[in-house]
């Protein structure tokens, strides 16, 4: 998220009540974000949440654990591997969409963000069924095709983990890079052409270096997300005996009793690493702004004519669609309606029995309760989150208040905090009086709002910056106070961004797992935690049905965003 340049707000002599609102907003956001982090740091020096003793035992215990070195090494290899592969996928796709004459670019634009819409837990369980060495569908097809007993690959390896996670996270690189390619200042490229440089040489020597800050920004965000994601390491990694940071934290918290202090101590260095990556991303975005400004609004850089190679680029995009979306979704559909796993998808083996069992069976009550809990938390969280986001975005973008930079920074902090770390911080903060929320839905709600606040702020900020100040200035000249201007003018005009932000928050909360898996309790399950439990129990059809429900809700919500905001480009979703 970039810091928005504030527009002049001189037409208002802000009354003291508005100044109180600004400070109140700062205090609320500061409390939501910093209070749990304070207890996280303090908790790493305490033996348990009840004790008041100060000790370094948790840090020494982590250093002495013989498996901890392997966990950190696995995390480093996974994060670097995922980031590298995501760049190799995302940058070519962005270049194809932004700078070439490849046919069907609008469809490729949608294809590139499909894995971003599909929850990681869905992609993970689908590829777990596709890539199992003995009975995975891809391996079974390979054995039949070439007449061998050896599988094509084993998904439950570090390579498989990196592959599946890169499919899910490559859209982060694409989203940042495609904007840079589309809005790039073409002056240097034209100079290179005049000097006789070929198109390919210009692309390699001029275009890619100019997009480097945006590529770096997307790569650093991907790096942060790779540390944060829990679903894919929990399904692909744990099945192969590969533990990384997020799954190790989970293992600490499911012990009897949970090891709160060790989890807090392990969270601190990871928090610092993610914070450093976020700082680098912010710097990279600041540098990219110098290269992606075009003077004329209707001007577009010249497209690269690929000739016959445009069909190669189209095939590359089609293959990415196949492995990232089509195969996983087909697997889920197959599992939903097939009578027994391994049967061919012919009419005689199709059934609606699994759907009937979920609705009427003993386990169906738990699944339906998890859906109800997820809908409640997502609706409440998105509503409260977007209301906070609208106020924060307004003060950050429009106000000349000196505290707006601090407010923007506080609202951005959760981007650098992995969901598992947020959960540990919430447990330390809200397990005691006066905020004893342990084993309630409210602690999950607060975690959701905290974690996804930056997404809401960005969605509303982008909308506010597109509204010209003259409308507010005219209202002020007519005697309207700040409240009237905000509610009667700015909110209606910014409504597309507010609605888009609400739906993005809703979808993000519906599919959230990293924090939920640490915070849920009996009767407080959510749809993503039930999905992991069903997967662990080997209930193939139940997993597929629940995954399809998540995919349908996600796709429907994004389609609604596009319809409401009338966006046909990827920027409308980010």
C-alpha pair distances (Å), 89 with each of 172, 229, 537, 571 = 11, 19, 34, 19
Q: Can you give the pLDDT at residue 376?
A: 92
Q: Can you give the pLDDT at residue 292?
A: 47
Length of the chain: 574
> Long-range contacts: 83-88, Cβ < 8 Å, 24+?
83/219, 83/222, 83/223, 83/226, 85/162, 85/163, 85/166, 85/170, 86/166, 86/169, 86/170, 86/172, 86/173, 86/218, 86/219, 86/222, 87/173, 87/215, 87/218, 87/219, 87/222
Q: Can you give the pLDDT at residue 380?
A: 93
C-alpha pair distances (Å), 248 with each of 71, 241, 429 = 7, 12, 21
Q: What global pTM score does this model have?
A: 0.81
Residues of the chain with CATH 1.10.3720.10: 14-38+352-574, 44-325
φ/ψ (deg, to 5) at 304:
-80, 125
Task: List per-residue pLDDT tens for the chain, 574 residues long.
Answer: 444 444 444 444 445 677 788 888 899 999 999 999 998 898 888 877 777 778 888 888 888 777 888 888 999 999 999 999 999 999 988 888 877 878 887 777 777 777 777 788 888 888 988 888 887 888 888 888 888 888 888 899 999 999 999 998 988 888 878 877 777 666 666 676 666 666 667 777 777 777 777 788 788 888 888 988 888 998 899 888 999 988 888 888 877 777 788 888 888 888 888 888 777 767 766 655 555 444 444 456 677 677 788 888 888 888 988 888 888 888 888 888 887 776 767 787 788 877 877 777 766 778 888 888 988 999 999 999 999 998 888 888 877 778 888 888 888 888 888 888 888 899 888 887 788 888 889 999 999 999 999 888 888 887 777 676 666 667 666 666 666 777 777 777 777 778 878 887 888 888 888 888 888 887 888 888 888 888 888 888 888 888 888 888 777 777 776 676 554 444 444 4
Tell me which fold the domain 44-325 belongs to: MetI-like fold (1.10.3720)
As beta bridge partners, residue 566 has none
DSSP 269-313: HHHHHHHHHHHHHHHHHHHHTTTS--SSTT--PPPB--TTHHHHH
Q: How far apart are CA 438 and CA 521, in angstroms?
A: 9
Tokens 């592969």 found at? 85
Q: How far apart are CA 386 and CA 367, in angstroms?
A: 28
Q: Can you give the pLDDT at residue 67?
A: 80
- Does CATH place domain 14-38+352-574 in 3.40.50.620? no
């Amino acid at each position: 998220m970039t810091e928005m340049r504030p527009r002049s707000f001189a037409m208002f002599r802000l009354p003291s009540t508005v100044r109180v609102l600004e400070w109140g907003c700062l205090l609320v956001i500061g409390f939501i974000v910093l209070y749990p982090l304070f207890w996280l740091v303090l908790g790493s020096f305490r033996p348990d949440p009840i004790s008041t003793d100060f000790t370094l035992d948790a840090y020494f215990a982590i250093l002495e654990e013989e498996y901890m070195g392997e966990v950190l090494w696995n995390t480093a290899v996974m994060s670097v591997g995922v980031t590298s592969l995501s760049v190799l996928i995302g940058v070519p796709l962005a270049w194809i969409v932004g700078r070439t004459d490849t046919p069907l670019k609008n469809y490729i634009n949608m294809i590139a963000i499909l894995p971003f819409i599909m929850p990681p837990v869905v992609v993970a369980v689908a590829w777990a069924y596709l890539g199992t060495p003995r009975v995975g569908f891809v391996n079974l097809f390979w054995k039949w095709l070439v007449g061998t007993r050896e599988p094509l690959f084993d998904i439950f390896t570090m390579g498989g983990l990196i592959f599946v996670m890169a499919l899910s996270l490559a859209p982060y690189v694409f989203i940042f890079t495609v904007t840079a390619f589309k809005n790039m200042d073409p002056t240097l490229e034209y100079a290179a052409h005049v000097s006789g440089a070929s198109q390919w040489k210009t692309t390699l020597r001029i275009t890619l270096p100019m997009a480097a800050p945006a590529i770096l920004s997307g790569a650093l965000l991907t790096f942060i997300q790779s540390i944060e994601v829990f679903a894919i390491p929990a399904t692909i990694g744990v099945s192969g005996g590969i533990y990384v940071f997020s799954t190790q934290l989970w293992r600490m918290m499911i012990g009897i009793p949970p090891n709160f202090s060790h989890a807090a101590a392990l969270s601190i260095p990871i928090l610092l690493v993610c914070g450093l990556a976020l700082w680098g991303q912010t710097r990279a975005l600041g540098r990219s702004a110098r290269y992606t400004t075009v003077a004329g609004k209707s001007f577009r850089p010249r497209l690269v004519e690929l000739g016959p190679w445009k069909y190669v680029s189209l095939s590359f995009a089609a293959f990415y669609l196949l492995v990232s979306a089509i195969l996983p979704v087909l697997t889920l559909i197959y599992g939903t309606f097939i009578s027994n796993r391994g049967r061919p998808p012919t009419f005689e083996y199709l059934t609606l029995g699994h759907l009937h069992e979920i609705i009427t069976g003993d386990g169906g009550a738990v699944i339906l309760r998890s859906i109800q809990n997820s809908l409640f938390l997502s609706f409440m969280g998105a509503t409260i989150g977007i209301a906070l986001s609208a106020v924060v975005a307004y003060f950050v973008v429009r106000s000349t208040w000196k505290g707006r930079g601090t407010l923007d920074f506080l609202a951005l902090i959760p981007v650098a905090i992995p969901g598992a770390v947020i959960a540990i911080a919430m447990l330390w903060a809200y397990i005691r009086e006066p905020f004893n929320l342990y084993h309630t839905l409210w602690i999950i709600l607060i975690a959701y709002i905290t974690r996804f606040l930056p997404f809401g702020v960005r969605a509303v900020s982008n909308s506010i910056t597109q509204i010209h100040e003259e409308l507010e200035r005219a209202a002020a000249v007519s005697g309207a106070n700040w409240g009237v201007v905000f509610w009667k003018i700015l909110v209606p005009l910014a409504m597309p961004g507010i609605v888009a932000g609400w739906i993005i928050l809703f979808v993000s909360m519906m599919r959230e797992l990293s924090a939920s898996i640490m915070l849920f309790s009996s009767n407080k399950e959510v749809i993503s935690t039930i999905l992991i439990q069903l997967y662990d129990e080997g209930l193939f059809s139940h997993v597929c049905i629940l995954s399809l429900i998540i995919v349908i809700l996600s796709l429907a919500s994004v389609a609604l965003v596009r319809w409401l905001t009338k966006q046909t480009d990827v920027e409308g979703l980010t």
